[in-house]
Chain A
Amino acid sequence: MRFTSEISNLPLFIHLVQALSKIDLEAIIHLTQDKIIFILDSQDYIKVFSGVQQEYLFSEYSIQSLHNNEIGLKINLKNLLCALKSGSNIQEKISMKLTKKESNPFITITINSDESKMIVTHDVPVQVLTPQNLEQHPEPTLPEPEVKIMMPRLEVLQKVIEKMKNLSDFLIIEGDMGGNLKLKVETDVVTAETSFSNLDIVHFQELESPQANEDIKAVSKLDIKKFSRALLCSIIKPSDVACCFIRNSIVLLHVTLDELYITYYIASIL
């Protein structure tokens, strides 16, 4: 089992790990020949799957294993972040390798600075997963969403949700195929509802008539703190965030930036 690489886009890598660490510190990294996939599967009500083509983050990438040249690792994102961040001021070579020291596996981040003639090495402990372990965390396959709309600017959403968090623990989110999105909190003492309109809708079936239809609506009740943490993906400066409502039981946020995606699966509270 071998994995060696050289990181070319460190800032994006750091921002990605930062966004994911807001959801959970325990993550699975699934390395394949073409992609690096992050799986956050240990929290209630929220699961995250994030993937990126390796060329997008690495300038050199080599992987070898007996299982289809794929490797699965369990890692603590806080440790990984700490290691990556120490390289953020240095413009030199940063490599990421799978190593074994005293029969323990590590992801070793080595930062070589030619200027200051300094080499910094971080050994981040990992747990190697078997293919059977990995199979226990598949990306969910879900029915087609009833409503799929593009989110408004994340900064605005974040500000509104920040204040709504003070008013209630639950968020009611409603979207329709007319391009309208509503965020609502409701308690005995206060009701606050923010409405966004003229949002883009996504058609997944070209056969259907491509006219906006306000009557196709979906609504879900979510844990507001989890939703608020998902919005912290704004740190990667995504190009698009799509919000999908599935059977009024799951809200999916699909965040994309070129070849990188983060998908948040947020379960409704009934």
Chain B
Amino acid sequence: MQVLNCQLTNIKLLINNLSAINWTKDQFAKCSISEGGIMFSVEGSSKSFEAHAFIDSKFFTEYNFRGRQIELRINLSILLDCINIFGKSSYGISTGTKSEITYPDNQGRFSIKLEENDVVTQCSIAIIKIDEDEFYSQLSFDTSNNSVYLAMPSEVLKEIFNELDWSCSHVKITFSNRPGFISFQTEGTDGTCHIRCSKDPKIFSFFQISQTQSNKYLLNSLKACAKALNYSSKVSIRTNENGMLLFQHVLLSDSRQESFVEFLLCPSVDEDSDDESENNLQNLSTNGRFI
């Protein structure tokens, strides 16, 4: 039986990565442990979106795991409460939080030991083992073939998201090479909101649109991605020809280590329109939809 035993002095990296993919209480995550590191994946309730946080083995001061990948389901909210148990250190003379993660412990649970200033906390969380074929990532994105590829600082996207009307159900995001390059449109009972962004190279460190894309996405899914902006310094947006959206966040830790958190969103099928012919017309003009 493979056993994971690893030590981490930079617990903040783990806290930030997991917090970026945690947006509700009682959220479960798939935890995949391999020789390369630990991947935490969360599925959105609508099943049209997924989030992933990968903690590379190189971030650990010690990482011991040999053998085939193990997968399990763990309550992410409980895991976060445990690793956050010492809270933010208020007095600066803290020696930092040392942590040690073991799976499985002698009760078959996911165990975390944290130590800060001679105070020791031992946590042990029950998990559900996953059989090989049970949970598989339903969404995949081929990053070699993008219709759109943009990169910008997180504050910029955060500003845009702050302007959106979150009371609506959907947002229509359009990427095109014509002026008004990137636009976000919402339509709700309170009114319509249209945000347009220019192609300013001072903002976008990378800007490439090879195909016009205009798709609607569930705002609830975008909300989760918005939360991650609080933890990331840079974010890139990609779409493929089917309108799938990929947000890749770069989280920078104190020790200048970069870690990544991803969000994949499927575009919504337009169900509002009763007129079938209009629907078909829309489908034709926006390069098909991912169903």
Residue ranges of A at the interface with B (Cβ–Cβ < 8 Å): 152, 155-156, 159-160, 162-164, 166-167, 188-198
Number of interface residues of B (CB under 8 A): 21
Total inter-chain residue pairs, C-beta < 8 Å: 63
Q: A163-B87, A193-B121 are in contact. List 18 more A-B contacts (CB 8 A).
A: A156-B119, A160-B86, A160-B87, A160-B121, A166-B81, A167-B82, A189-B126, A190-B75, A190-B82, A191-B123, A192-B82, A192-B85, A192-B122, A192-B123, A194-B85, A194-B121, A196-B119, A198-B118
Which residues of B sit under 8 angstroms from A189, Cβ to Cβ?
75, 78, 125-126
Q: How far is the CB of A163 from chain B (nearest CB, A)?
A: 5
Residue in B closest to A184 when the chains form the complex, CB atoms:
B122
B125 touches A190 (CB 8 A): yes
Residue ranges of B at the interface with A (Cβ–Cβ < 8 Å): 75, 77-78, 81-82, 84-87, 90-91, 117-126
A190 to B74 CA separation, bound complex (whole angstroms): 11
A194 to B119 CA separation, bound complex (whole angstroms): 7
Residue in A closest to B120 when the chains form the complex, CB atoms:
A195
Please provide the 8 A-B residue pairs with the shortest distance between their CB atoms, ordered closest to farther.
A159-B87, A194-B121, A192-B123, A163-B85, A166-B81, A163-B81, A191-B124, A189-B126
Q: How far is the CB of A119 from chain B (nearest CB, A)?
A: 40
A197 to B117 CA separation, bound complex (whole angstroms): 11
Chain B interface secondary structure, helix, strand, loop or mixed? mixed
B122 touches A193 (CB 8 A): yes
Q: How far is the CB of A144 from chain B (nearest CB, A)?
A: 29
Quick one: given A166-B81, A167-B78, A198-B118, are A190 and B86 in contact (CB under 8 Å)?
no
20 residue pairs of the A-B complex, CB under 8 angstroms, read A155-B90, A156-B86, A159-B85, A160-B85, A164-B85, A167-B81, A167-B82, A189-B75, A189-B78, A190-B125, A191-B124, A192-B85, A192-B123, A193-B121, A193-B122, A194-B120, A195-B120, A195-B122, A196-B119, A197-B118
B85 touches A190 (CB 8 A): no
Contact of A190 among B84, B119, B126 (CB under 8 A): B126
Which residues of B sit under 8 angstroms from A156, Cβ to Cβ?
86, 117, 119
B124 touches A190 (CB 8 A): yes
A192 to B86 CA separation, bound complex (whole angstroms): 12
Contact of B121 among A155, A188, A192, A197 (CB under 8 A): A192
A167 to B85 CA separation, bound complex (whole angstroms): 11
B84 touches A163 (CB 8 A): yes
Which residues of B sit under 8 angstroms from A155, Cβ to Cβ?
90-91
A152 to B119 CA separation, bound complex (whole angstroms): 10
B123 touches A190 (CB 8 A): yes
Which residues of A sit under 8 angstroms from B120, Cβ to Cβ?
194-195
Q: How far is the CB of A217 from chain B (nearest CB, A)?
A: 18
A155 to B87 CA separation, bound complex (whole angstroms): 10
Q: How far is the CB of B38 from chain A (nearest CB, A)?
A: 19
Q: How far is the CB of B166 from chain A (nearest CB, A)?
A: 26
Instruction: Choose among A164, A188, A194 the residue with the greatest number of B CB atoms under 10 Å from its CB.
Output: A194
Residue in A closest to B107 when the chains form the complex, CB atoms:
A191
A194 to B117 CA separation, bound complex (whole angstroms): 12
Q: How far is the CB of A152 from chain B (nearest CB, A)?
A: 7
Which residues of A sit under 8 angstroms from B125, Cβ to Cβ?
189-190
A160 to B84 CA separation, bound complex (whole angstroms): 9
A30 to B82 CA separation, bound complex (whole angstroms): 43
Residue in B closest to A193 when the chains form the complex, CB atoms:
B122
Which residues of A sit under 8 angstroms from B81, Cβ to Cβ?
163-164, 166-167
A103 to B291 CA separation, bound complex (whole angstroms): 77
